């Protein structure tokens, strides 16, 4: 591990959970009804991965073998998320994902498909993209009509930038976009 990687790893607790509120509670019936009513996003962090932070040096988005990917427990958790949604007869209008394989795989395992969207891509270590991508997500969330909801699979840094909350792998929250205002977190989403 290179020195800069060790410094990033050491900084994670200072930049993540201590500054952001954690998302850890199981979804309740009111949240299920809110998903049915639409105009919201089920915002998820990718499911559990092989150990590590970020990706190996030289990783490529077009080659999953160069990235940190889902672990077997992570694949199982993604499938459980999909089963939970289907058991409640919830059908997302769209499933959008970061282009990272761990996000695309989470979406595909849970929902059968995932549409890569660059606004959900990680900006870990790239502060210049943070504001642009976060603004694009807030605008898109505000445009989701009543009667529909979308699922967005992304990374912890994106979730924190958009909501101010920290999500464990395979967890997230339901958000509502509001024109000209920050998104509103309606409740946490996490399966035990």
Class (C level, CATH) for 3-189:
alpha beta
Q: What's the average model confidence in pLDDT over 163-181?
A: 94
**What pLDDT sits at residue 105?**
98
Report DSSP state, residue 54.
Answer: S
d(CA 97, CA 113): 10
Mean pLDDT of 33-49: 97
Confidence of residue 161 (pLDDT cuts 50, 70, 90): very high
pLDDT at 82: 97
Q: What is the mean pLDDT of the chain?
A: 86
The domain spans of the chain are 3-189
- Take residue 59 and report the two structure tokens written for it: 């990783």
Check pLDDT > 90 for residue 86.
yes
Measured between its terminal Cα atoms, the distance across the chain in Å is 32
Residue 151 has pLDDT above 90, yes or no: yes
What tens digit of pLDDT does each residue of 107-133 get?
999 999 999 999 999 987 677 889 999
Q: What pLDDT was estimated at residue 52? A: 73
Closest of 73, 77, 69 to residue 50, by C-alpha: 69
> Looking at residue 28, what is its pLDDT?
74
Q: What is the pLDDT of residue 56?
A: 79
* pTM of the model as a whole: 0.85
Confidence (pLDDT) at 127: 76
Predicted local confidence at residue 36, as pLDDT: 96
DSSP 26: P
């Amino acid at each position: 591990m290179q020195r800069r990687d060790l410094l990033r790893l050491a900084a994670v607790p200072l930049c993540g959970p201590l500054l952001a509120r954690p998302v850890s509670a199981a979804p309740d019936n009111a949240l299920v009804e809110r998903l049915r009513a639409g105009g919201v996003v089920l915002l998820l962090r990718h499911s559990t991965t092989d150990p590590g932070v970020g990706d190996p040096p030289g990783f490529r988005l077009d080659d999953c073998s160069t990235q940190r990917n889902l672990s077997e427990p992570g694949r199982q958790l993604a499938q459980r998320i999909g089963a939970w949604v289907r058991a409640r007869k919830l059908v997302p209008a769209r499933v959008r994902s970061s282009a990272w394989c761990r996000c695309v795989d989470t979406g595909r395992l849970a929902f059968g498909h995932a549409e890569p969207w660059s606004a959900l891509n990680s900006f870990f270590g790239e502060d210049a993209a943070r504001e642009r991508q976060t603004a694009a997500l807030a605008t898109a969330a505000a445009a989701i009509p009543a009667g529909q909801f979308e699922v967005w699979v992304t990374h912890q840094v994106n979730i924190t930038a958009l909501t101010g909350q920290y999500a464990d792998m395979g967890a997230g929250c339901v958000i509502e976009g509001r024109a000209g205002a920050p998104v509103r977190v309606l409740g946490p989403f996490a399966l035990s």
